[in-house]
Amino acid sequence: MEKTYYNPADLGKFGAIAEFQPTLAAKFFDYYGEVFKEGALTEREKALIALAVAHAVQCPYCIDAYTTGSLEKGADEAQMMEAIHVAAAIKGGAALVHGVQMMNKVKEVMM
């Protein structure tokens, strides 16, 4: 076992997940490739969404990949940071909106 849970070199080995389950890996990577092609959204917009999600799920591999990916697709620094703020706002909002649930419960159990 590695001494750390994350190794940057492992990002480049992502494709090796096929070693233990080739069929599902092939389906996943085909799907993955299709998702990031230009469609109703541009490749740049998709890279920025991926960057935001990477921060929300706190995946260091994804942050590494989609920081570079966003730069390659032509995103500027302000766009990248705004995308992360969107992720932060949704994460923060998701916590806070549960405050209503807490309030409902308080009102239920309090006199």
Partner 1 sequence: MKSLAAQNSPFADAGFQLEVLRQPLPQGTVFPAFGQRLLDHGLWPLKPSHISILQVNLGKMCNQVCKHCHVDAGPDRKEIMTRETMQLCLEVLAKTDIPVVDLTGGAPEMNPHFRWFVEEISKLGRQLLVRCNLTIILANPKYHDLPEFFRQHRVQVVSSLPYFTASRTDTQRGDGVFDKSIKALKMLNAVGYGHEDSGLTLDLVYNPAGAFLPGNQKALEGEFKRRLQQGYGITFNNLFAITNLPISRYLDYLISTGNYEPYMEKLVNAFNPAAAANVMCRHTLSVGWEGSLYDCDFNQMLDLPVEARAPRHLRDFNLEALSLRDIVVNQHCFGCTAGAGSSCGGETVA
Nearest CB to partner 1, comparing residues 73 and 91: 73
The only residue of 10, 16, 21, 38 in contact with partner 1, by rule CB under 8 A? 38
Among 51, 59, 64, 52, CA closest to 9: 64
Residue 15 backbone dihedrals phi, psi, to 5 degrees: -60, -20
> Using CA atoms, how far apart are residues 49 and 80, in angstroms rounded to an integer?
9
21 near partner 1, judged by CB under 8 A: no
Give yes or no for residue 81 binding partner 1 (CB under 8 A).
Answer: no
Work out whether 61 is an interface residue with partner 1 (CB under 8 A): no
Contact call for residues 79 and 50 (beta carbons, < 8 A): no
Give the footprint of partner 1 on this chain (CB under 8 A).
12, 38, 42-44, 68, 71-74, 76-77
